[in-house]
Amino acid sequence: MRIYGSLINNKKRIHLMGIGGVSMSAIAVMLKKDGHIITGSDSFLSKNVEKLREEGINVNIGANLDDVEKADLIIYTNAVPEKDPELSYARSIGKEIIERSDFMGIFTKIFDECISICGTHGKTTTTSMTSLCFIEGKKDPSIQVGAYLKNINSNFRVGNSEYLVIESCEYKDSFLKFNPDTVAVLNVDLDHVDYFKDIEDIKKSFKKFMQKVPKGGKIFVNGDDENIKDILEKNNFEAEIITVGKNDKSFYNYKNIKYSYESNEKDETGYNSNKEYMEFDLYQKDKKIDKIRLNVLGEHNTFNASISAAIALSYDIDIEDIKKGLLKFEGASRRFEYKGKVNGARVFDDYAHHPTEIKSLGQAVEKLDKHKSFAVFEIHTFTRAERFEDQFGKALSSFDNIIIAPIYRARKDGAREVTQEEIKEKILEYDKNKNVIYFENYEEIKEYLLKTVTSGDVIFTIGAGNVTKLADALVKEEKNKTIK
């Protein structure tokens, strides 16, 4: 491969701390394919860790100081605390150490064209859509995306061209280490409230990232987003600004959104479901470019597809290839992901953990051909619970039934430990007739759903933590019944 020789010179043996993370696991496999000896550690066993072990990478659960001592280079994620035994030991013996975002910053410099997708919501989907457009357009891109993308059978791809399409996260300003030539800013909303103190703080971060795009580069922005409009009004950028949105004032805009259904044959459970899809017309100003069809639902995905198409068009990718690429996208892992059925009810899993994301998900669910909808909602961190508890009720209003799972503590964030009862009361303040319940553990939730849902219902497990395991457990119950 052409990529890594100048990046890490003669660092033959590399140890990764927090190797099970989405980005870190991709780095590990790419470096191994480049001929380096890779070891790693993580705090718990995950699917990513299992896949790394299948790739022949030695991953330890917990600290392994011997691997640290043997390493020529240490890469660690900022999720690793400073007092971590491996990190402390590496510093004490003078090992060369680099944080993941710093490493990725160096990595992005290698490519002539780094296309960086950022925004509070929709990064993974838009990075995936853009990547498929570039693949279909035979640009042979390298790719880093924040979830498993089944079209490439991974969360990364190593190409042999000058193009890199990369998902870029604002948390702890990590994307400020990147070196983009083209940027897409999908939206700017208040999130990561354990790091950003208010909306002005997060706007400053996005402004700095946009300012990294050099003269001659392009910044694609959401022309409907008020916070982005505010950033643009107050600041001058060297790069060209290109707007994408629903309103006619945007340079690229979309119209005539249509939801449709196709009948499918009965599946193994005997349930005959419909295949939902959507179509819209993409315009450049007032000139229609073409009709776009998507195999994912939601007006937010209409925007995601439009901005992906706009980026691809700017790199001279033919509209027919763009249409093919967008049509091939059927969702990334944990983004409106269909998992299977239980009692004839379809089970979906979604990573949404911010009120804006949950609201968009609910609007898409309203378009589904269904009987009743069930949302199993796990709040991700007490910081979000405390900051957004008033907004969750409105965000979940599209669901018929809401089940509040135990709140997930991803990190020690110092926030007040909001209770499930408090969240229930906040939801009922918004709609007192809403069916809202909560359980102390996931086994109780599973048993409730097994007794309650029927054919034609839909279940959504929603959140960034443990709730995804429930979707798999429900589908497994159905498979077990079939085997018996």
More confidently predicted of 306 and 430: 306
- Average the pLDDT over 258-282 and give the result: 69
Assess contact for 377 and 392: CB atoms under 8 A: yes
Given a cut of 80, whether residue 383 has pLDDT beyond it is: no
Region of poorest pLDDT, from 375-384, 397-406, 442-451, 464-473: 375-384
Encode pLDDT of 127-147 as tens digits: 999 999 999 999 999 999 988
- Average the pLDDT over 116-129 and give the result: 94
Task: Identify the three-state secondary structure at position 375.
Answer: strand
Sign of CA dihedral 57, 63, 64, 68: positive
Count of all residues that appear for the chain in the document: 484
Assess contact for 232 and 241: CB atoms under 8 A: yes
Most confident of 273-282, 310-319, 397-406: 310-319
More confidently predicted of 119 and 361: 119
Assess contact for 67 and 142: CB atoms under 8 A: no
What pLDDT is recorded for position 484?
A: 47
What pLDDT is recorded for position 269?
A: 44
| Closest by CA position to 61, among listed 18, 23, 124 | 18
Residue 364: what are its φ and ψ, rounded to 5°?
Answer: -70, -40
> Model confidence at 293, in pLDDT bands (50, 70, 90)?
very high
> Model confidence at 349, in pLDDT bands (50, 70, 90)?
very high
Distance from C-alpha of 411 to C-alpha of 385, rounded to nearest angstrom:
13
Distance from C-alpha of 152 to C-alpha of 72, rounded to nearest angstrom:
31
Q: What is the mean pLDDT of the chain?
A: 88
Distance from C-alpha of 145 to C-alpha of 166, rounded to nearest angstrom:
6
Task: Identify the three-state secondary structure at position 437.
Answer: strand
Given a cut of 60, whether residue 266 has pLDDT beyond it is: no
Task: Identify the three-state secondary structure at position 372.
Answer: coil
Given a cut of 70, whether residue 272 has pLDDT beyond it is: no
Q: Which residues of 125-146 are buried (b: 16+ CB within 10 A; e: fewer)?
A: bbbbbbbbbbbbbebebbbbbb
**DSSP-assigned letter for residue 222:** E
Given a cut of 70, whether residue 5 has pLDDT beyond it is: no
> Model confidence at 193, in pLDDT bands (50, 70, 90)?
low
- Average the pLDDT over 311-327 and give the result: 98
What does the block give as tokens for 448?
A: 């409730």
Region of poorest pLDDT, from 159-163, 300-304, 430-434, 461-465: 430-434
Encode pLDDT of 433-461 as tens digits: 889 999 989 999 999 999 999 999 999 99
Distance from C-alpha of 480 to C-alpha of 143, rounded to nearest angstrom:
37
More confidently predicted of 29 and 382: 29
What pLDDT is recorded for position 7?
A: 56
What does the block give as tokens for 27?
A: 């780095």
Given a cut of 90, whether residue 398 has pLDDT beyond it is: no
Distance from C-alpha of 347 to C-alpha of 374, rounded to nearest angstrom:
10
Distance from C-alpha of 261 to C-alpha of 215, rounded to nearest angstrom:
45
What pLDDT is recorded for position 147?
A: 84
Encode pLDDT of 27-60 as tens digits: 898 888 878 999 999 988 888 899 899 999 999 9
CA distances from 52 to 7, 74, 95, 389 (A): 22, 17, 24, 38
Express as a percent the part of the chain with pLDDT over 90.
56
Assess contact for 312 and 116: CB atoms under 8 A: no
More confidently predicted of 227 and 368: 227
What pLDDT is recorded for position 481?
A: 67
| Closest by CA position to 6, among listed 34, 39, 38 | 34
Region of poorest pLDDT, from 35-44, 154-163, 266-275, 381-390: 266-275
Given a cut of 50, whether residue 425 has pLDDT beyond it is: yes
